[in-house]
Amino acid sequence: MVEAPKQFSVLGLPIHLLDDYDHWLGTRLLQRVGSHVVTLNAEMAIQAEHNDALAGIIRKADLVIPDGSGVILYLWLQGQRGRRCPGIELAESVLRQAGELGKSCPVVFYGGSPGVAQKARQVWQDKLPELAIAGIEHGYLSPEEEQKFKQMLKDQQPGLILVGLGVPRQELWIAQNRHLCPQATWIGVGGSFDIWAGIKTRAPVWLRENHLEWLYRLYQEPWRWRRMMALPQFALKAIGQRLA
């Protein structure tokens, strides 16, 4: 059994500090130790201040990774060493590890617009022919379709479930349904299916390395500007905590 990672508080929310998130989570995947992974960024942290249910779920998660540059800034201001761990990269690493396990670790994709998860599945199946993808569903199921999907999860007991419903919906959905597959690794992957399917692209590496991936996302999705207002709010809170 792997040890619990070191934990630090970011605006009252936990963040786990590890040198190798991939290995820690991959070991739990191999051992079939149920895990809920939350990819914390500034936007989610600000949402959690006004959403008690989301905050409670983050506090109960088995692994909370520093997904956003704002979280890394907060840690730096508090004298903590941490490296950014983008959720999409962690999910890709875990998918590769699931591929090595083959049929003993079935994978499920849930979320995105109709057809997107199917395209993402084909991309991954071409990359990893041994990857056992047990189920694919988009994120706009009717109540009846969702019940059938949940029954499939219960029957199939996949080892890895990637949920791309956006924040906070994916976190709430995982918390409500995790009991269906208690030994699975559950990860909220946001818009990762869109990127894997080729519908959207990630920021160039130089933008990522300079902590400006948020700016590229705003360029791709200008309608997000209201949500991006959480970034300066978070930065001010981080600086205020440091001064205090």
- DSSP, collapsed to helix, strand or coil, labels residue 22 as helix
Q: 197-219: per-residue pLDDT in tens?
A: 999 988 778 777 766 677 677 66
Helix axes 69-77, 42-50, angle to 10 degrees: 80
* DSSP class per residue in 32-76: T--EEEEEE-HHHHHHHHH-HHHHHHHHH-SEEEE-SHHHHHHHH
pLDDT in tens, 104-163: 999 999 999 999 999 999 999 999 999 999 999 999 999 999 999 999 999 999 999 999
Whether the CB-CB separation of 24 and 58 falls below 8 Å is answered with no
At 83 the pLDDT is: 86
* Angular region, 49: left φ>0, alpha ψ -120 to 50, beta rest: alpha
Please, which residues have CB within 8 angstroms of residue 6's CB and are 6 or more apart in sequence?
16, 17, 18
Decide: 139 and 164 in contact? Cβ < 8 Å: yes
Question: Which pTM does this prediction carry?
Answer: 0.93
- How far is Cα 124 from Cα 129, in angstroms, rounded to an integer? 8
> How far from each other are the two terminal CA atoms of the chain, in whole angstroms?
39
Question: At 228, is the pLDDT very low, low, confident or very high (cuts 50, 70, 90)?
Answer: low
Is the pLDDT at 236 greater than 90, yes or no? Answer: no
Tell whether omega for the bond before 158 is within 30 degrees of 0, i.e. cis. no
100 pLDDT more than 90: yes
Mean pLDDT of the region 228-243: 80
What pLDDT is stored for residue 45 in this prediction? 96
